[in-house]
Structure 1
Amino acid sequence: MRNFGRTRGDVGTFPRDANARQALEAYLDALPEGPEGFIPCFEGDGLDFSGADLSGLELLGASLDEATLDGVRLRNAELGRASLIAASLRGADLSGALLRKAQGRACDARNALLVDADLRTCEFEEADLRNCDLRRAKLANAWLAGTDLRGADLRGCDFGGRSTSAGLFEVRMADSRLDRATGHLSGPIDVGTSSPRLLDGDDLQRWFADHGAPEVEVHN
């Protein structure tokens, strides 16, 4: 079990914006010392966290809808059940972060780092994840319908088991890297570059095999 930061002293760098810093300080001051206590909601909707290093912090269930988190470091942070709807996460570093059951509908996370991130049971439909680094990410039960994954690095990621397959309905996946990806998923997936090209079933299965991921299984 990981131990997450719960005090002001655990913050690598506070956000430059005064309102964001005040909200973060108030949240940390309200957190219990031990992991067993009640975790209050971090109210960060619409705030600008630019310049912050929040790596390793306890942010379970944080409310960050429409927040600006571009370039923010959130390595190994606890963001389970966080709401990141329409948030901007361009170039953010969420490597190793726990994002189980997180909500990220329509977020913009282009070029974000999600290496080794736990995205099981997350919902990131209609999100922009172009050129994201998702190497070895856990995606069991993830719902990514309509999400743009063009150019993303998905090498070694796990799409889940037969009963926990990732939902990739009409995900755009042209130019993504898939070597050694494993697990089960459902489509169809748009693999077109200049125009839409939806593949499903055996055709999609062969496409994954041709792109270095023969162990990915497509559910019909």
Structure 2
Amino acid sequence: MTSDVITPEDLVAAARAGQPLHDVRLDDGDLRETDLAGLVVEGGSLAGADLRGTRLDRAVLSRCSLAGADLREADLTDATLTGVDLSGARFAGATLGDTRFEGCRMIGTSLRGVRGLAASFVLTGCNLQLADLGNAGLRGLRVTECDLSEADLSGADLRTVDFERCRLRGTVLRAARMESADLRGCDLGEVTPETPGALRGAVVSPVQAAAICEALGLTVLE
């Protein structure tokens, strides 16, 4: 089904029928507590939509915009979002069990207070600059090729998180749990005297360790 302007009823009908939607337009739509389980959308925009409490479990969303959308208390269990613009979207209280975010634009997105974050949760190739993940439970997660520059991870549980080729330039890690978090291969940005405290317990490479020692005024000799 292809549509320029679509109604909430159209979305519900398409989800129930298992009918994919292409290039939809429903900016600022009121979709609160709507059952959109299994919805498939490719292209278009739901920017600014009110999706509080909405069922989006098993949804497949690609190349569309949810910029500024309100997804608080929404259920995105087993949902897959690929190339979706989620800039400024809010996920407080949302259920994200086994949710996949792949190549998404998540600048300034708020993931503070999400539910169901577990090791199966996927973040791959996403731009999370300035995102708010304060106090998020990310233990055991694999985060691959994501840009977390200037994101807020203060108080987050990052134990055993595998950060693969991520950017952590200016990332706020105050009071984060970093035990066994693997930062090897990551861009840590400018190393300062405060860096060792922020990274306490993390796994770093010899090159990163040397840079940290240099910031502390230490000389490492082989």
With normalisation by structure 1, the TM-score equals 0.71
| Aligned-partner Cα distance in 2 for 1:209–1:92 | 32
In the alignment, is residue 185 of structure 1 matched against residue 208 of structure 2?
no
Structure 2: runs of 5+ lacking an equivalent: 18-35, 206-222
In the alignment, is residue 167 of structure 1 matched against residue 152 of structure 2?
no
Contact 1:150–1:172, Cα closer than 8 Å, also in 2: yes
Q: Runs (4+) of structure 1 moved beyond 6 Å?
A: none
1:155 offset after TM fit, Å? 0.8
1:115 offset after TM fit, Å? 0.6
Residue 153 of structure 1 aligns with which residue?
152
Residue 203 of structure 2 aligns with which residue?
218
1:106 offset after TM fit, Å? 1.0
1:41 offset after TM fit, Å? 1.1
Residue-by-residue CA offset, 1:178-215 (whole Å, 9 max, x unaligned): 1111154223121125xxx9xxxxxxxx976423x53x
Residue 5 of structure 1 aligns with which residue?
none
Residue 134 of structure 1 aligns with which residue?
133
| Aligned-partner Cα distance in 2 for 1:179–1:45 | 38
Contact 2:55–2:75, Cα closer than 8 Å, also in 1: yes
Contact 1:178–1:208, Cα closer than 8 Å, also in 2: no
Residue-by-residue CA offset, 1:156-183 (whole Å, 9 max, x unaligned): 11124xxxx3220121011111111115
Counterpart residue type for residue 187 of structure 1 = L
Residue-by-residue CA offset, 1:67-109 (whole Å, 9 max, x unaligned): 2100000012111221111111011111222222221111100
Larger radius of gyration: 2
- Work out the percentage of aligned pairs sharing the same amino acid: 27
Of the three residues 25, 37, 43, the one matched with 2:12 is: 25
| Aligned-partner Cα distance in 1 for 2:103–2:195 | 26
| Aligned-partner Cα distance in 1 for 2:10–2:157 | 35
Counterpart residue type for residue 11 of structure 2 = L
Aligned pair in 2 of structure 1 residues 140, 45: CA closer, same or farther (>3 Å)? farther
Structure 1: runs of 5+ lacking an equivalent: 1-16, 31-38, 198-205
In the alignment, is residue 114 of structure 1 matched against residue 111 of structure 2?
yes
Aligned pair in 2 of structure 1 residues 23, 113: CA closer, same or farther (>3 Å)? farther
